[in-house]
Each structure stands twice: as C-alpha cells, then as structure tokens.
Amino acid sequence: MTPGSVAAPRLRATGLLSGWGQGLGALPEDAGAAAAGRAVVSAGRPTLAGDRFRRATRECLLGVVAVEDALKEAGFPRALLAGNGTALLYATASAYGASNRAFIEGAGATTLHFPYTAPSAVPAEVAIEFGITGPYVIFLGGAPATLSALWYAATLLASSACDRALVLAVETFDECADLYARGRWLVGRPLVEAAACALLEPGAGALSYSEGRSRRPARTAAGGVQRRLGEAFACTPLVELGMARAAGAASLDLRLTGVWRGSEAVLHWVEM
C-alpha cells in the first residue's frame, strides 16, 4: 500500500456517548468484564428537547449528543457550526439496521418512518440541528470507513473547501442483537453502542492514509481501545483519537488502524 498524504488537521475536540456513559471517563478498564455477559451494551435513547426529535430514531439522537459533547469540550459555540464552512463526514457500519428491520417487519411502515431507514438520516438530523450546509459525505463500513472520513476531512480542510470538519460515527446494535448473535463470527464482544465525534480544524502536520486487503478478522483492530470500549465498529478510531488527546500530548503522533471485512485502513497522523 502506498499512502496518500495531505496536511494533517488539528484535533480541536472529541465527543463521546457510549453504552458506558458520556465521555471517555465513563469507559471501563476492561469492557469484557464490565459487560458481565451482556452481548450488547446499549446506549439507550437520549432525551433531547424539541418537538422535531419526537419522531427521530435514537441513532439520530445519539449523533446529536456526540456533537454537543465535542462542542462542550472545545468550548466551541454551536452557532459557529452553522453554514457552508463546516463539513460533515459521517461513518457507520450498523446504525441503519434497527430502522431497516422495523420497516421490513412492518413495525415502522409509515410515511414518517421510511426516510429514517436511510443511513443519511443520522447526519441529516445533525445537519438540521446545527444548521450545517457544507461538504457532506457518508461512508459505510467499520473502522476503515471512519479512517476514510478522517482522511477526507483532511483533504477538504487542506483545500480550503471548509473551515472546520466534524467527523461523526454512530453504531447501534440493541434492536438487532439476535441477528448479531446469529452472525457472531463477524463481530467482537461485547458490542457497545456509541456515538463519537471529532471536531477538526486546519493544521500544519502530515496525515497519510492507505487502505488495502487484510487477512485479519473482520472486526476492528484497535488494541487497547477495544479492550476498554468493546466492539464499536466505526466509532473506535474516534475514541482512540480522543484517548490519545486525553493522554496529554501537546501534538498527536498517532497511527490508527481499522479492520473490517477484509479491508485494513491505516492513518498516520502527525500534528504540528
């Protein structure tokens, strides 16, 4: 794999809501032990004010909360996100599963429900909530999809196509827990629902990205992060970013790896 390189963004903040609670501080030392036999650790349905959110699916609400958490960490006024200057890049492997299933099985076969079956529903609700009208791409897959989204955010920032970028990932499993149990060879344990977000700004470092075939298992390859978080597919690289920043380094020098269904992506991020 020959990597493509681009100026690395500055990581302004990360946000996280997971089945373990809000923020990195809620993560256990050992997700496997903390799950205590649960196959899925649910993040529940966040309560958000506003009539618009009554019909939104919980994965949409999780996405909104993760962005709010990142803004809070950064001390970044939400009004500044509005407009063409903010890019929104979204990644998920699973967060359309619940709505698709409900629609297929008839529980949600209504006019209001169908639009929420699209993977684009989560970033749509985030864009509406924060008034984001900038560059907009949705990547499907596990951790490599998020690494692709981070790379793409870097290219958008480097080319001045936006002033800042939000990279968001959401994964939900609870409504399809029986299906994941049937396909348990595909995924790690425990499956931990999460919504994670990174707020990026133009930076002066270097970021390289490559993706190719992998013979490793289909699940995320994220070592210590997965030990603390559990399996959270596309959310994992963003949690790893947040943990690296929380570790106190003034600038990042980080190699993120993600594996998903025969693909392995590597992002080497050197912040200046």
Partner 1 sequence: MAEADRIAIVTAGVVTPIGQDLDAFWSALVTGASGISRIERFPVDDLRVPRAGEIKKLVRERPEEVSTDCRASRLLIAAADELVAHVGGRPLAADPRRVAVVLGTALGGVEEGERALRGERRPSRLAGAFYDSPARALGQWLGAEGPVLTISTACASGATALGLAADLLRNGAADVAVAGGYDILCRFVMKGFDVLRSLTRDEVRPFDRRRSGLLLGEAAGLVLMERERDAAERGGKCLGYLLGHASASDGSHIAAPDPNGRGLEVSIRGAMSQAGISPEEIEFVSAHGTGTPLNDKIETAVLKRVLGRRAYAVPVNSMKAHTGHTMGAAATLEAIMCLLAWRHGQIPHTLNLEQPDPDCDLDFVSTGPRPCRPRISLSTSLGFGGCNAALVLEGA
193 φ, ψ (degrees, to nearest 5): -70, 145
Interface with partner 1 (CB under 8 A), residue from 8, 143, 221, 265: 265
> Segment near partner 1 (CB under 8 A), from 14-22, 24-32, 147-155, 196-204?
147-155
Residue 253 CB, shortest distance to partner 1, in Å, is: 21
Applying CB under 8 A, does 211 fall inside the site for partner 1?
yes
Interface with partner 1 (CB under 8 A), residue from 84, 216, 253, 255: 84
Output the six-digit token pair for 116. Answer: 């929420």
Applying CB under 8 A, does 177 fall inside the site for partner 1?
no
Applying CB under 8 A, does 70 fall inside the site for partner 1?
no
Q: How far apart are CA 113 and CA 120, in angstroms?
A: 13
Q: Binding marks (x or -) toward partner 1, 86..105, rule CB under 8 A?
A: --x----xx-xx--xx-xxx
Query: What DSSP element (H or E) covers 254?
Result: strand 253-260
Query: What DSSP element (H or E) covers 69?
Result: helix 58-74
Length of the chain: 272
- DSSP codes joined into one string, 217-264: -SS---HHHHHHH-B-GGGHHHHHHHHHHHTT-SS-EEEEEEEETTEE
Using alpha carbons only, give the angle 59, 63, 65 rounded to the nearest 5 degrees: 115
* Residues binding partner 1: number (CB under 8 A): 66
Residue 145 CB, shortest distance to partner 1, in Å, is: 7
Within residues 110-129, the interface with partner 1 by CB under 8 A covers: 110-111, 114-121, 123-125, 127-128
Please tell me the number of Cα atoms within 13 Å of 203 on its side-chain side: 22
DSSP annotation of 235 reads G
Applying CB under 8 A, does 6 fall inside the site for partner 1?
yes
Of 188, 182, 256, 176, which Cα lies nearest the Cα of 218?
A: 188
Residues at the contact surface with partner 1, assessed by CB under 8 A: 1-6, 82, 84, 88, 93-94, 96-97, 100-101, 103-105, 109-111, 114-121, 123-125, 127-128, 130-141, 145, 148, 151-152, 155, 161, 179, 182-183, 185-186, 209-213, 261-263, 265
